[in-house]
Amino acid sequence: MVSDPLPICAPATPLLPSAIAVVRVSGPNLGERLGSLVALPEPRRAALRTLAWEGFRERALVLYFPAPASYTGEDVVEFQVHGNPRLVRRLLGHLGTLGIRPADPGEFTRRALLNGRQALLEVEALRDLMGAETDTQIRLAQARAGALPPWILDAKATLAPWVARAEAAVDYGEDEGILFDLGRMRQELAPLEERFHVEQRRARAARHLQDGIRLALVGRPNAGKSTLFNALAGEDRAIVTPLPGTTRDVLEVRCEWRGLPLRLYDTAGLREAEDPVERLGVARVAPVLEAADLVLRLEPPGAGGEEPALARILAPFGEKVVVLRTMGDLLEGASPVSERVVSARTGDLDALETLLKTRLLGGLAPDACLGALASERQQGLLEDLARQVELLLGLDAGGPPEVPASLLQGAWGLLARLTGEDRVESTLDHVFSGFCVGK
Ligand SMILES: Nc1nc2c(ncn2[C@@H]2O[C@H](COP(=O)(O)OP(=O)(O)OP(=O)(O)O)[C@@H](O)[C@H]2O)c(=O)[nH]1
Ligand SMILES: [Mg+2]
């Protein structure tokens, strides 16, 4: 059980007028603690009860999940009351007088984790599910809920005997004649390296999908930025006119396009502007480029020579600037996808889809990222793990067993941190900072 057994309560639904509001309580001995308010029903059976306190009489549906088979591992009671925010506050206030304090954000789930009802990776998947904004993001988060990924179980099974053998060789090696067989270890660990690389690739792609791909559209005036912006967003968000210099402010829209969660930025056309308003618009482009994962430099057909303002502004972002040729419908004949030609007017945007998948997803389809690790924490640990195994595989024979022993211990520790078996409070604080009250 958790060290702070004080019961907690919170609304599990938003405090807004609604049909039903759910209030959750978790803690030890709730039957006794709530005795003056309600007689708890049979476990896991919904029952109508009248909650009476301070002159209020509320008919509520009550659910009781006794410890340990509950969400938190403690006794849990849920009240479904009428969705009046004031009524919910009064009920929470009354629970306070019964010694039940308001829960911190994510505290129910934190207790579930500490009581072994949920694993850390599941908790992170839950956090991502709560924050998901697109269908792909929801599917990714759902795919990461549940049991540990098989490759983590495999890695543990492969590493465990080698951790033990290396320890034995260090502790008893010379006296007992236990030698560490580095050659065999390299052989058995080699598939792990391969597997970690696959997972790293999937994790990098999944991270882009999880966060949304930040895509900045830039180019000279009339390059077709706003038209493409609207086509990708699937709505008429930006004003389009044949006049150059139409867009002034940076526009942002979040959308999902062909399974790719996008955070799109439309910007002012880049040229040496004389109009002061347009100049201000151009000045706003730099921070957008800074934050972008990819900068699409749009070029319409027959766009004359270099625009010095464009070249100057894009220069610091060399690597992530990619040319995309717009208005393909005005070009003679069909253009292969490799020429990166699109037409927002006809909706022929295949070249852009290929470009995004190649550059940001490492050639993977969004579905290939299902089940991949995605958070910064997980990705960092996976990278450390891959490096650790690379070092192990690069060891020369004939060295003291202390070297592989310490590397193997390191890899083992990283796996434990990844799965949450090795609980570090700062990690938990970080993970739970993204949760809401009542979860
Ligand atoms: N034929 C054709 N015309 C297009 C296409 N995309 C944009 N246009 C036209 O090109 C003109 C400029 O388009 P915008 O989307 O406003 O260009 P922009 O880059 O946002 O321009 P500024 O905001 O002024 O920088 C408009 O008249 C559009 O209708 C396209 O794919 N095909
Ligand atoms: Mg525009």
| 285-321: pLDDT as tens digits | 889 999 999 999 999 998 766 778 888 889 999 889 9
Q: Which of 218, 220, 222 to mutate to test the pocket of ligand 1 (most atoms within 8 A of CB)?
A: 222
Query: What Cα–Cα distance (Å) separates residue 205 from each residue in 67, 200, 213, 364?
Result: 40, 9, 10, 7
Ligand nearest to C-alpha 220: 1
The verdict on the CB of residue 218 being under 6 Å from ligand 1 is: no
Q: What is the rounded CA–CA span in Å between residue 269 and residue 276?
A: 14
Residues 202 and 254 in one domain: no
| Mean per-residue pLDDT, 212-232 | 96
Which of 368, 401, 430 finishes a domain?
A: 368
The residue whose CA is least distant from atom 2 of ligand 1 is 327
Q: What is the rounded CA–CA span in Å between residue 272 and residue 274?
A: 7
Q: Which atom of ligand 1 is nearest to the CA of 220?
A: 25
Ligand nearest to C-alpha 245: 1
The verdict on the CB of residue 240 being under 6 Å from ligand 1 is: yes
Portion of the chain with pLDDT greater than 90, in percent: 70
Query: What Cα–Cα distance (Å) separates residue 296 from each residue in 43, 120, 231, 254?
Result: 58, 38, 15, 17
CA of 311 to the centre of ligand 2 (A): 18
Residues 221 and 270 in one domain: yes
The residue whose CA is least distant from atom 30 of ligand 1 is 327
Residues 217 and 187 in one domain: no
Is pLDDT above 60 for 435? yes
pLDDT band, residue 78 (cuts 50/70/90): very high
Residues 226 and 164 in one domain: no
Q: Can you give the CATH number for the domain in which 189 is found?
A: 1.20.120.430
| Among the ranges given (172-181, 196-205, 340-349), the one the predictor scored with the smallest mean pLDDT | 172-181
Residues 274 and 338 in one domain: yes
Q: Is residue 283 within 8 Å of 275, Cβ to Cβ?
A: no
Q: What is the rounded CA–CA span in Å between residue 112 and residue 1?
A: 10
CA of 252 to the centre of ligand 1 (A): 18
CA of 237 to the centre of ligand 2 (A): 10
The verdict on the CB of residue 327 being under 6 Å from ligand 1 is: yes
Q: Can you give the CATH number for the domain in which 37 is found?
A: 3.30.1360.120
**For residue 123, which of 100, 102, 107, 104 has the smallest C-alpha distance?**
107
Q: Which residues contact 69 (CB under 8 A, 6 or more apart)?
A: none
Q: Which atom of ligand 1 is nearest to the CA of 242?
A: 27
Is pLDDT above 70 for 359? yes
Residues 233 and 344 in one domain: yes
CA-based torsion, 79, 82, 87, 88: positive or negative: positive
Sheet holding 321-325, edge to edge: 251-257, 260-266, 213-218, 294-299, 321-325
CA of 217 to the centre of ligand 1 (A): 12
DSSP string, 390-421: HHHHTPPTTS-THHHHHHHHHHHHHHHHHHTS
| Mean per-residue pLDDT, 75-103 | 97
| Mean per-residue pLDDT, 39-63 | 97
Residues 307 and 322 in one domain: yes
Q: Which atom of ligand 1 is nearest to the CA of 223?
A: 19
Torsion (CA) 284, 288, 294, 299 in degrees, nearest 10: -10
CA of 136 to the centre of ligand 1 (A): 30
Confidence at residue 420, expressed as pLDDT on a 0 to 100 scale = 83
- Determine, yes or no, domain membership for 257: yes
- Determine, yes or no, domain membership for 127: no
Residue 262 has which token pair?
């996008």
| Mean per-residue pLDDT, 221-227 | 95
pLDDT band, residue 424 (cuts 50/70/90): low
- Determine, yes or no, domain membership for 181: yes
Residues 233 and 346 in one domain: yes
pLDDT band, residue 4 (cuts 50/70/90): low
| Among the ranges given (15-19, 142-146, 286-290, 344-348), the one the predictor scored with the smallest mean pLDDT | 142-146
CA of 334 to the centre of ligand 1 (A): 20
pTM of the prediction?
Answer: 0.81
Q: What 8-state DSSP symbol labels residue 337? A: G
Provide the H-helix boundaries in 276-375: 276-283, 285-291, 308-314, 350-360
Residues 352 and 261 in one domain: yes
> Count of domains in the chain?
3
Residue 207 has which token pair?
């991270």
Q: Model confidence over 157-178: pLDDT tens digits?
A: 999 999 999 988 888 876 777 7
Nearest 5°: phi and psi at 116?
75, 15
Q: Which of 240, 243, 270 to mutate to test the pocket of ligand 1 (most atoms within 8 A of CB)?
A: 240
Q: Can you give the CATH number for the domain in which 217 is found?
A: 3.40.50.300
Q: What is the rounded CA–CA span in Å between residue 311 and residue 330?
A: 25
Q: Which of 218, 220, 226, 227 to mutate to test the pocket of ligand 1 (most atoms within 8 A of CB)?
A: 227
Q: How many other C-beta atoms lie within 10 A of the C-beta of residue 308?
A: 11
- Determine, yes or no, domain membership for 171: yes
The verdict on the CB of residue 281 being under 6 Å from ligand 1 is: no
CA of 417 to the centre of ligand 1 (A): 51
Is pLDDT above 80 for 337? no
Residues 394 and 358 in one domain: no
The verdict on the CB of residue 230 being under 6 Å from ligand 1 is: no
